[in-house]
Amino acid sequence: MQYILASASPRRCELLKQILPRFDVIPATGAECVNLSLFPEQIACSLAEHKCDEVFSSHAGATVIGCDTIVVYEGEVLGKPKNREDAAKTLKRLSGKTHYVITGVCVRRGDKKLVNYDKTEVRFNVLSDDFIKIYVDGGSPLDKAGSYGIQDEGVVKEYFGSYTNVVGLPVSLVKDMLERIAQ
């Protein structure tokens, strides 16, 4: 059976290797359409499903895994920053505060499709202006929802839930979904 990850994220690839020794990477390329009237969990699932369906449409013989991670702060969905200034602004907003990271997952094989999500509560350290400037200048926040990586030292104080969910691929959930879809 061929497995395909519908994402180019190097972090997702590394995490998926923990449960799948071999898979292909074929990123979805379509525009992400977000319906902000949905609940955040529905938004993450909808985006993941869209990516999965797009890749599955040209690889129907494979098992396709689509994921999308969003950050939610005070009910607002925070995506990837537009630029350095946007990243710094987001980090300042989240400094010392609690937010949620939600990753939607869609797995499709044959005529079966499973859609689910994982949700993790994350609390930031209080970040100084100097820390934010150095962190943003280093480039790490620029390609990540919420403008940070949990693996980056000094940003996250604590979290409740799945670490791998915050990185972008909730390993336990994906493993469970792959087992269920193979039955």
Which residues are the active-site residues? 68
Instruction: Please name which of 95, 88, 71, 72 lies closest in space to residue 145, comparing C-alpha atoms.
Output: 71
Q: For residue 140, what are its two tokens? A: 């790490």
CA atoms within 13 A on the CB side of 97: 13
Residue 129 has φ and ψ, to the nearest 5°, of -60, -40
Interatomic CA distance for residues 106 and 77, integer angstroms? 20
Q: How far is CA 138 from the centre of its chain?
A: 21
Task: Report the relative pairing of strands 98-109 and 112-124 from DSSP bridges.
Answer: antiparallel
State the DSSP H helix or E strand holding residue 180, giving kind and residue range, or none if neither. Answer: helix 171-181
Interatomic CA distance for residues 12 and 25, integer angstroms? 10
